[in-house]
Each structure stands twice: as structure tokens, then as C-alpha cells.
């Protein structure tokens, strides 16, 4: 969402600058004061709110994306690691520590199946 907003700001800013350049071109052989004023207007566009916040929004987007990516990765890595440890204990006939997973998705279903398998093996 931040990336979309940042992109829209960039497009708006570039369009504004493009329009200002056309205004300067249309002045043709006007008075130098008018050309100077048009250049100042274009310069003001670069120091406007759009140009000020676009880099910050881009940085926020990168930070937010990295944080969200790390959180999603961790939510998969941690349960899979717990299941791997539980599976490695099954050949040793150690059924005392089941694979507990707090996720409510396929990972939890897999952990539940590992626990059932370990319980069945413990009974035999």
C-alpha cells in the first residue's frame, strides 16, 4: 500500500514537472523575468511536499516489506524446526515431547499427524 502511494506521488510529481517545462517552452521569446519565474516555479515543485516525502515513503515501504517478510518466514521456520526435532526423536523411541505447533494452518495439521504417528508407535 505504501509502495502504491509512493508510486502515485512520484507520477504526480513528474507530471507536474513535465507541465512546468511545457510552460517554460511556451514562453518562447518572452521577457527574461517570466522565464526566470517559470524556472523558479519548477524549482519549487522539486521542494514540494511530494518530493520531500517520496524517499521517506519508499524507505518505509522497504522496512515494512522486510519486517513482514521476516515475520512470515519465522512463522513457518519455527514450527517446521519443532516438527523436525520431534521427527528425529521417533527413531529413538522418544515420544515424550510431541511436535506442538500454535499455527492454525497446514503446519498445525502436519504437527497433529506427527503427534498421532508418534502416539501409535508408542502403543506398539
Residue 67 has pLDDT above 90, yes or no: yes
Segment 44-65, tens digit of pLDDT: 666 666 666 777 777 888 899 8
Specify the range with the lowest mean pLDDT, choosing from 43-57, 58-72, 101-115.
43-57
**Band of residue 107 on the pLDDT scale cut at 50, 70, 90:** confident
Segment 14-26, tens digit of pLDDT: 777 777 777 777 7
Residue 69 has pLDDT above 90, yes or no: yes
109-123 burial by CB neighbour count: b if 16+ within 10 A, else e?
Answer: ebbeebbeebeeeee
Amino acid at each position: 500500500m505504501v509502495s502504491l502511494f509512493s508510486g502515485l506521488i512520484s507520477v504526480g510529481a513528474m507530471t507536474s514537472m513535465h507541465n512546468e517545462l511545457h510552460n517554460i517552452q511556451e514562453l518562447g521569446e518572452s521577457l527574461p523575468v517570466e522565464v526566470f519565474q517559470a524556472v523558479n516555479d519548477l524549482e519549487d515543485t522539486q521542494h514540494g511536499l511530494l518530493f520531500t516525502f517520496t524517499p521517506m515513503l519508499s524507505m518505509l515501504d522497504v522496512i515494512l516489506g522486510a519486517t513482514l517478510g521476516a515475520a512470515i518466514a519465522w512463522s513457518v521456520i519455527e514450527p517446521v524446526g519443532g516438527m523436525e526435532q520431534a521427527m528425529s526423536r521417533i527413531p529413538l523411541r522418544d515420544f515424550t515431547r510431541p511436535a506442538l505447533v500454535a499455527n492454525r494452518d497446514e503446519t498445525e495439521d502436519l504437527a497433529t499427524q506427527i503427534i498421532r504417528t508418534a502416539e501409535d508407535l508408542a502403543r506398539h
